Chains A and B, each alone.
Chain A
Amino acid sequence: MAKKLLLDKANVEGIRGYDVYRREGGYRAVEKALKMTPGDIVEEVKKSGLRGRGGAGFPTGMKWSFLAKPEGVPRYLVCNADESEPGTFKDRYLMEFLPHLLIEGLIISSFALGSSRTYIYIRGEYAWIPDILEQAAEEAKQNGWLGKNILGTGFDCEIYVQRGAGAYICGEETALIESLEGKRGNPRIKPPFPAVKGLWDCPTVVNNVETLAAIVPIINEGGEAYSKIGVGKSTGTKLISACGNINKPGVYEIDMTISVEEFIYSDEYCGGIPNGKRLKACIPGGSSVPILPANLLLKTAKGQPRMMNYESLSDGGFATGSMMGSGGFEVLDEDQCIVRHTLSLARFYHHESCGQCSPCREGTGWMEKILRNIEYGKGKMSDINLLWDIQRKIEGNTICPLGDAAAWPVAAAIRHFRDEFEWHVLNPVECMNRNYGLAHYADALEVPVAV
C-alpha cells in the first residue's frame, strides 16, 4: 500500500467539517509554518521538489522564488480551481471532501508569499463546491486561522472564492487573472509574466489546487522527507483521476513508483478493463496530452516498463511518449474508435477556444470539421495530411497553450493511429457500423538493440 499524504483522512466521517479535521491533526502545519519565516517556507518547498500539479509540472518552489517583491505593492496568491480538462477531476474531489486541506495549504502559501488577499477561482460548473469552500473558510476564520493578526504573528489573510462562468480558457493563468478582474477571459501576452505583473498589475502566483494542498504535508513532514517519496524529479504523491474503460474509475493517490500496467490492472487501483476486453489506447494526463497506443503505453520505445511519473511518461518525447499532465487518466478499450475520440476532443477545443489569436480560433474549428467528415465516412485521404498540417501550424504559434493543447491530441492520434484514419476513409460505409478494433496496437514493438 502506497503512502498517502493528501487522501489519507479522506474517508474519516465528517472530515469536511472543521472540528473533525482539526481533531485529525489539521492546521498543525499552519501552526508550524507561522513560526517559520516566509523565506524558510519557500526554501522548504524548493527542497521538496514539488512540481506544479496543474499540468505543466513546473517546480513550485522555483515559481515562488520568481515572485517580484517591490516595496509598497501588494502581492496575490490565486488558487486555480478552474479544473476543466476533460478527464481530470482530482481537484473536485479534494475541494469537495477535504476543503480544509486546501484552506490550510492556502494559509501557509499566502504567508510564504506575503499575500493577504487570496483568491480561489473555481469553475462555474462546480456549482455546489464554492459553498463548501466558503463554509470552510468561514470556519477557519472563526477559529482564528484567517482574518487579522493570525496566531498573533501580525499576518493578515482573507480567502475569497470567485466563481467562473464556465470557460476552459480561464484555467490558463493570465486568462484566469483577467476573468478575476472582471474582464473577458482572454489570455494575456507574455511577458510580462504574472510573477511580475499579474492580478491588478501586481505580482501574483497562480497555483493548482493539488499543488497548494501538497504544501500541508511538505510543512508537516519537511521538504527533505517529502522529496524522498517518489523517484527522481517526480517527488511526493500525485492524484490521478482515472476514467474510461476500467473497472474502478475514481481518484487515486499514487507515489509515482508504480508502473502504468500495475495502475491499470491491479485491484488496488483501476482494477483492470471490464468484460475481458483488451487495452487499446490511453491518454495518461488529461485530454491535451498525446494519446498512446497500448504497446507504447506499457513499455517505452527502449523496451522498459513505463512508470507513472513525469519522466517515464514523457520518455521518448512526443514521438513515442506522452506527458503526466494534470493526471486525467483515460483508458480506451478495443471497442473504442480513435477517430471518434479525436473528434470529440477537437470539438471540445473548438468550443473552448477564446478566439483571440487567429491560428487557434480558425484552426480548431477547421480540424473539427475535417474530423467530422472522416468519422462520418465523408473523408478523403488528403484530409489526413491536411489535419497534420493544420495542427502543425497551430502548435507553438498561439498566445497561450490552448493552441498546443488542441493540436497535440490530433497530432498524436494521426502519428500512432494513422491506419485507423485511413481505414475510415477507405471504408466509409463499414466505419459507420463497426469499429476498427484493436488491430496491431497492442503488439510488442521491436526494441532497437543497444550497440
Chain B
Amino acid sequence: MADEKKMMKVTIDNITIEVEPGTSILNAARQIGGEVTPPAMCYYSKLKGSGGKCRTCLVEVAAGSTADPRPMPKLVASCRTNVMDGMVVKNITSEKVIDARKGVVEFLLINHPLDCPICDQAGECSLQDLGYSHGSDDTRYEFPRRTFEKENIGPYIQLHMTRCILCYRCTYVADQLTNERVHGVLDRGDHSEISTYISKAIDNDFSGNMIDVCPVGALTDKTFRFKNRVWFLKPLDAHRDCPTCCGKVTLWNRGDEVYRVTARKDQWGEVEEWICNTCRFEKKNTSDWIIEGPTKVNRHSVISQGHYVGLKMPPETLKRVMDGRDPRILMEIHDVSGVNKPEIHLSELPGPAHSHDFLEKDVTRAEEYPGHVPQTLADVDAKTDSR
C-alpha cells in the first residue's frame, strides 16, 4: 500500500470524489460528469499546455485544501488549477461563477458574427452550445463587429477569422503534431488574428486536425464547405489500414455518399485519436473504408435530431387569445409564392424540403382542393412578362 499513490479528496458542488494527485479541477469534474463539469472552450486534454485562456471554466474554490482551508480570492480557471487534498470547489452552486461565466459568454459573442445559418460548424459548435446553456438571449453590444481581411491558408482548410475566439488550440496542434508550425497569432488585443507566416499555406500531414480542435467555425473543412448541414448527415464509425495514422474515423454520409471525414470525438467533443490528411481529405468513397456501425451521438446534440418525421406541432395560440376568431391575414404567402404549399407538411417529406417537392405535387393536388388556384413559378413569370 505504501507505494500506492495517495489519492486526493475533492468536493465539487457537494459531490466528493477521489482523484490522483496532479489532476486538474476540470478533469476531476469530468470524472463526476454531468452538469458539474464546467464548460471548456480552449482547454483540450490531448494538447499539452492548452487552457486557461477562454475563462469559461472559471470556478470558485471555497476551501484550498485540508492543510490550508482558506478560500481562493479570485475565481480560478479549473482547467489549469490542480486539485489539493480536501479542496472544496463550487461550480454551478456558486452565483459568482454563474455570473462570471455569463459575462465570459457575452464577451465571446460580442464580436462573433453569429452567421450560424451559413456556418459549416453549426450543429457541432462549442460556442453555440455554450451560448444556449450559459448565455443570455439578448445582446447589449451595439457596435459594428470586427472584421478581418480574408486569407487563403491552403487547399484543405478554410479560415474564417471573424468566427475565431482565439483559443490557441490550432497553434498547439501545429506545435505538437506537425513538424513545423507555420501559423500563429499575429497582432494583439481584439484585433489579434490567427494567420500563417507571410501567408504561407498550411501544408502538413496532420494539419487537418486543426479543424477538429477548433471549437467554432473559424477553421473548417474546405472540401466540405457549404456541402451540407451536419445534422442532415449520418455519422458512421469506420476504419482503414492507414500507414501514417490510426485510421479510425467518423464518416459523415448522406445515403452512400461520404461528405466528410473527421476524427472520432469523445463525449467532451475532444478527438480520441488524431488522423492524417490523407484519411480526412482524400478518402471520400465508402469503398475506402470498413464501416463498423453508426456513431453514438449524444441525444442532446442537434445531430441526433436530424429527422423531421412525426414532428409534433405546438398548439396554435393565436386563435385562443383572440377569443376563437381567426386572425385577419393581410397577405397570404401562398397567393404569391409557388413554393411552400400549406397542404404539404414538412414532416411528411423524406429529408429536407426542396422546391421540386412542391412543384410536382401541385398538379395532382389541384383537383383535390378546387378552391385553391394552383400557381407555379412559371405562371408568375408569365404574368410579369405580359405586363
Residues of A at the B interface (CB closer than 8 Å) are 167, 169, 184, 189, 350-359, 361-366, 369, 386, 389-390, 392-394, 396-399
CB under 8 Å from chain A, chain B span 102-118:
103-104, 106-108, 110-111
Given A356-B53, A361-B166, residue A366 in contact with residue B110 (CB < 8 A): yes
- Give, as a whole number of angstroms, the nearest-CB distance from B138 to chain A: 12
User: Residue B184 at the A interface, CB < 8 A?
Assistant: yes
- The binding surface of chain A is classed by DSSP as helix
- In the complex, the chain A residue whose C-beta lies closest to that of B77 is A189
CB under 8 Å from chain A, chain B span 139-180:
140-141, 143, 165-166, 168
- Give, as a whole number of angstroms, the nearest-CB distance from B255 to chain A: 41
0/1 string, B66-95, CB within 8 A of A gives 1: 000000001101001000000000000000
- The binding surface of chain B is classed by DSSP as loop
* A77–B140 alpha-carbon span in the complex (Å): 46
B190 touching A353 by the CB < 8 A rule?
A: yes
- In the complex, the chain A residue whose C-beta lies closest to that of B167 is A358
Residues in chain A near residue B80, CB distance under 8 A = 189
Given contacts A354-B188, A362-B110, A362-B111, 15 further A-B contacts (CB under 8 A): A167-B188, A184-B184, A184-B185, A189-B77, A350-B190, A356-B166, A358-B53, A358-B104, A358-B166, A359-B103, A365-B111, A389-B103, A390-B103, A397-B75, A399-B52
User: Residue B189 at the A interface, CB < 8 A?
Assistant: yes
* A282–B40 alpha-carbon span in the complex (Å): 41
* A189–B143 alpha-carbon span in the complex (Å): 31
* A44–B187 alpha-carbon span in the complex (Å): 44
* A365–B103 alpha-carbon span in the complex (Å): 15
Residues in chain A near residue B100, CB distance under 8 A = 393, 397
B52 touching A358 by the CB < 8 A rule?
A: no
B52 touching A355 by the CB < 8 A rule?
A: no
* A426–B66 alpha-carbon span in the complex (Å): 55
B189 touching A396 by the CB < 8 A rule?
A: no
B53 touching A354 by the CB < 8 A rule?
A: no
B189 touching A357 by the CB < 8 A rule?
A: no
- In the complex, the chain B residue whose C-beta lies closest to that of A399 is B52
- Give, as a whole number of angstroms, the nearest-CB distance from A205 to chain B: 23
* A363–B108 alpha-carbon span in the complex (Å): 9
* A358–B111 alpha-carbon span in the complex (Å): 11
CB under 8 Å from chain A, chain B span 165-209:
165-166, 168, 184-185, 187-192
Select which of B56, B103, B140, B188 is within 8 A of A355 by beta carbon: B188
Select which of A350, A355, A358, A392 is within 8 A of B55 by beta carbon: A358
Select which of A356, A359, A392, A396 is within 8 A of B107 by beta carbon: A359
Q: List 16 A-B contacts (CB under 8 A).
A: A169-B188, A184-B184, A351-B189, A355-B188, A355-B189, A357-B52, A358-B54, A358-B55, A362-B108, A362-B190, A366-B110, A366-B143, A397-B55, A397-B100, A397-B104, A398-B55
User: Residue B230 at the A interface, CB < 8 A?
Assistant: no
* A358–B166 alpha-carbon span in the complex (Å): 8
User: Residue B263 at the A interface, CB < 8 A?
Assistant: no
A361 touching B75 by the CB < 8 A rule?
A: no
0/1 string, B226-259, CB within 8 A of A gives 1: 0000000000000000000000000000000000
Given A184-B184, A357-B53, A397-B103, residue A386 in contact with residue B58 (CB < 8 A): no
* A390–B74 alpha-carbon span in the complex (Å): 17
- Give, as a whole number of angstroms, the nearest-CB distance from B237 to chain A: 34
Residues in chain B near residue A189, CB distance under 8 A = 51-52, 77, 80
B185 touching A355 by the CB < 8 A rule?
A: yes
A393 touching B107 by the CB < 8 A rule?
A: yes
Residues in chain B near residue A363, CB distance under 8 A = 107
Residues in chain A near residue B107, CB distance under 8 A = 358-359, 361-363, 366, 393
* A398–B104 alpha-carbon span in the complex (Å): 10
* A436–B56 alpha-carbon span in the complex (Å): 40
- Give, as a whole number of angstroms, the nearest-CB distance from B96 to chain A: 9
A366 touching B141 by the CB < 8 A rule?
A: yes
Residues in chain B near residue A353, CB distance under 8 A = 188-190
* A366–B80 alpha-carbon span in the complex (Å): 27
- Give, as a whole number of angstroms, the nearest-CB distance from A184 to chain B: 7
Residues in chain B near residue A362, CB distance under 8 A = 107-108, 110-111, 190
- Give, as a whole number of angstroms, the nearest-CB distance from A176 to chain B: 15
- Give, as a whole number of angstroms, the nearest-CB distance from B165 to chain A: 7
Residues in chain B near residue A169, CB distance under 8 A = 188
Residues in chain A near residue B111, CB distance under 8 A = 362, 365
Given A393-B100, A397-B100, residue A361 in contact with residue B110 (CB < 8 A): no
- Give, as a whole number of angstroms, the nearest-CB distance from B190 to chain A: 4
Select which of A350, A352, A393, A399 is within 8 A of B103 by beta carbon: A393
Given A363-B107, A393-B103, A397-B100, residue A358 in contact with residue B188 (CB < 8 A): no
- In the complex, the chain B residue whose C-beta lies closest to that of A369 is B143
B52 touching A365 by the CB < 8 A rule?
A: no
Residues in chain A near residue B106, CB distance under 8 A = 393
A397 touching B108 by the CB < 8 A rule?
A: no
* A393–B80 alpha-carbon span in the complex (Å): 20
0/1 string, B35-52, CB within 8 A of A gives 1: 000000000000000011
* A352–B188 alpha-carbon span in the complex (Å): 8
Residues in chain B near residue A354, CB distance under 8 A = 188-189, 192
A399 touching B53 by the CB < 8 A rule?
A: yes
B190 touching A361 by the CB < 8 A rule?
A: yes
